[in-house]
C-alpha cells in the first residue's frame, strides 16, 4: 500500500515548478509595467515642480538665466536633451509688474529602457506649464 502512495506523490512533484515557470514571465511583465508607471508619475511631478519654481524665480527676479538654472537644478536627474523650456513672454525687457509670465516644460518620455517607444511606436511627451504675475521689473 505504501508503494502505491509513493508513485502518486512522484507524479505531482514537478507540477508546482511547471506552474511557476509558466507564471513567472507574466509576473515580470506586471512588475515592469508598474515600475514604468511609477517612473512616469515621478517625471511628471518633477516637471510640475520645476515649472512652478521657474515661474516663481522669473516673477520675483525677472531673470531668465536664474529661471533656467533653477529648472536645471530641479530636473538634474532627467535627461536634459529631452527637456524643452519655453518662457512667455521670452524677453525680460518686455515684462512689467502685473504681467503674466508662463513657463512651459515639455519632456520626451520613452521610459527607462526605451520600452514604451518600442511597444507603441511613438514618443510620449509630458507637458506642463505654470503662470504667475510679475512682482518686479
In a structure prediction context, what are the per-residue pLDDT tens digits for the chain, which is 137 residues long? 555 555 555 556 678 888 888 899 999 988 988 888 888 899 999 999 999 999 999 999 989 999 999 999 999 999 999 999 999 988 878 888 889 999 999 999 877 666 666 777 777 889 999 999 998 76
Q: What residue segments make up the domains of the chain, in order of their start? A: 15-133
* pTM assigned to the model: 0.78
Rounded Cα distance between 34 and 40, Å, is 10
H/E stretch holding 28: helix 15-61
Amino acid at each position: 500500500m505504501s508503494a502505491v502512495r509513493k508513485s502518486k506523490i512522484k507524479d505531482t512533484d514537478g507540477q508546482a515548478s511547471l506552474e511557476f515557470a509558466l507564471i513567472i514571465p507574466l509576473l515580470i511583465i506586471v512588475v515592469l509595467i508598474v515600475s514604468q508607471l511609477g517612473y512616469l508619475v515621478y517625471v511628471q511631478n518633477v516637471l510640475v515642480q520645476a515649472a512652478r519654481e521657474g515661474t516663481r524665480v522669473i516673477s520675483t527676479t525677472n531673470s531668465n538665466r536664474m529661471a533656467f538654472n533653477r529648472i536645471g537644478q530641479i530636473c538634474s536627474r532627467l535627461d536634459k536633451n529631452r527637456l524643452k523650456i519655453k518662457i512667455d513672454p521670452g524677453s525680460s525687457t518686455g515684462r512689467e509688474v502685473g504681467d503674466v509670465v508662463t513657463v512651459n516644460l515639455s519632456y520626451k518620455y520613452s521610459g527607462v529602457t526605451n520600452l514604451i517607444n518600442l511597444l507603441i511606436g511613438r514618443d510620449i511627451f509630458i507637458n506642463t506649464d505654470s503662470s504667475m504675475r510679475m512682482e518686479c521689473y
